[in-house]
Amino acid sequence: MAFVLYYTFKMTGVFFLQTLPQFSTSALLTISFWIGTVGALFGIFSMVWGSALLPAAALIGLSAAWIPPADLMYRQQAQLQERSLKNDWRWVLIYLVLLLGAIQLNGKWQAVGLFTGYLFLFISAIWQSGKINVRPRGVWQMLKQVTGKQLLAYLLFFGLLFLLRTGRLLKSNTLFEWALFGFMFVFALLMLTVGRRSQFWRMPFYLNVLTFLHGIVGNFLFLFGSVYVGARFGQAALTSHVYIPYAIGLFVSMTFGGFLEKKLGASTIFVHLSGLILCTWLFCFDAMLPIGMAGISFFYGGLNRWLGQRYRVLTAETIENRSLAKYATQSKGSLVHQFLLMGLLFGLIQKAQLPVNAIFRLSSTSGTLHQETIVGVLDPAKWVSAVSIILLFLVAGCYFRNDLKQTPLP
Q: 97-112 pLDDT, tens per residue? A: 777 677 667 777 777 7
Residue 193 included in any domain: no
| 134 and 206 assigned to the same domain | no
Per the structure, the complete domain to which residue 392 belongs is given by 201-410
| 267 and 393 assigned to the same domain | yes
| 246 and 393 assigned to the same domain | yes
Share of the chain above pLDDT 90, in %: 13
Share of the chain above pLDDT 70, in %: 77
Residue 301, pLDDT above cutoff 60? yes
pLDDT at 148: 54
- CATH number for the domain spanning 337: value is 1.20.1250
| 138 and 222 assigned to the same domain | no
| Vertex 152: Cα angle to 178 and 211 (nearest 5) | 85
| 116 and 216 assigned to the same domain | no
| 378 and 262 assigned to the same domain | yes
Contact 245, 291 (CB under 8 A): yes
pLDDT band at 233, cuts 50/70/90? Answer: confident
Q: 140-199 pLDDT, tens per residue? A: 455 444 455 566 666 777 787 778 777 766 677 777 777 878 877 777 776 666 666 666
Sign of CA dihedral 325, 327, 332, 333: positive
| 374 and 233 assigned to the same domain | yes
pLDDT band at 23, cuts 50/70/90? Answer: low
Residue 410 included in any domain: yes
Domain total in the chain: 2
Residue 131, pLDDT above cutoff 60? no
Task: Give the CA distances from residue 230 to residues 69, 240, 365, 384, 388, in Å, rounded to whole numbers and listed in that order.
Answer: 32, 11, 8, 19, 22
Angle between helices 371-399 and 268-283 (to 10 degrees): 160
Q: 316-332 pLDDT, tens per residue? A: 566 667 777 888 888 88
| 279 and 409 assigned to the same domain | yes
Query: Between these two residues, 134 and 331, which has the higher pLDDT value?
Result: 331
pLDDT band at 289, cuts 50/70/90? Answer: very high
Residue 344, pLDDT above cutoff 80? yes
Residue 368 included in any domain: yes
pLDDT band at 43, cuts 50/70/90? Answer: confident
| 247 and 381 assigned to the same domain | yes
What residues contact 211, with CB distance under 8 A and at least 6 apart?
307, 325, 326, 329, 330, 333
Residue 151 included in any domain: no
| 128 and 212 assigned to the same domain | no
Last-in-domain residue among 146, 167, 185: 146
Q: For every residue of the chain, which 3-state class applies, written as one string?
A: CHHHHHHHHHHHHHHHHCCCCCCCHHHHHHHHHHHHHHHHHHHHHCCCCHHHHHHHHHHHHHHHHHHHHHHHHHHHHHHHCCCCCCCCHHHHHHHHHHHHHHHCCCCHHHHHHHHHHHHHHHHHHHHHHCCCCCCCCCHHHHHCCCCHHHHHHHHHHHHHHHHHHHHHHHCCHHHHHHHHHHHHHHHHHHHHCHHHHHCCCCCCHHHHHHHHHHHHHHHHHHHHHHHHHHHHHCHHHHHHHHHHHHHHHHHHHHHHHHHHHHHHHHHHHHHHHHHHHHHHHHHCCHHHHHHHHHHHHHHHHHHHHHHHHHHHCCCCCCHHHHHHHHHHHHHHHHHHHHHHHHHHHHHHHHHCCCCHHHHHHCCCCCCCCCHHHHHHHHHHHHHHHHHHHHHHHHHHHHHCHHHHHHCCCC
Residue 361 included in any domain: yes
Residue 47 included in any domain: yes
Last-in-domain residue among 146, 164, 190: 146
Residue 290, pLDDT above cutoff 90? yes
Residue 75 included in any domain: yes
Query: Between these two residues, 356 and 381, which has the higher pLDDT value?
Result: 381
What residues contact 207, with CB distance under 8 A and at least 6 apart?
307, 310, 311, 314
pLDDT at 119: 85
Residue 158 included in any domain: no
| 215 and 313 assigned to the same domain | yes
| 212 and 340 assigned to the same domain | yes
Least confident of 140-144, 230-234, 251-255, 284-288: 140-144
Query: Between these two residues, 272 and 91, which has the higher pLDDT value?
Result: 272
Q: 57-78 pLDDT, tens per residue? A: 888 888 888 888 887 787 777 7
pLDDT at 138: 47
Mean pLDDT of the chain: 78
Residue 368, pLDDT above cutoff 60? no
Last-in-domain residue among 146, 179, 214: 146
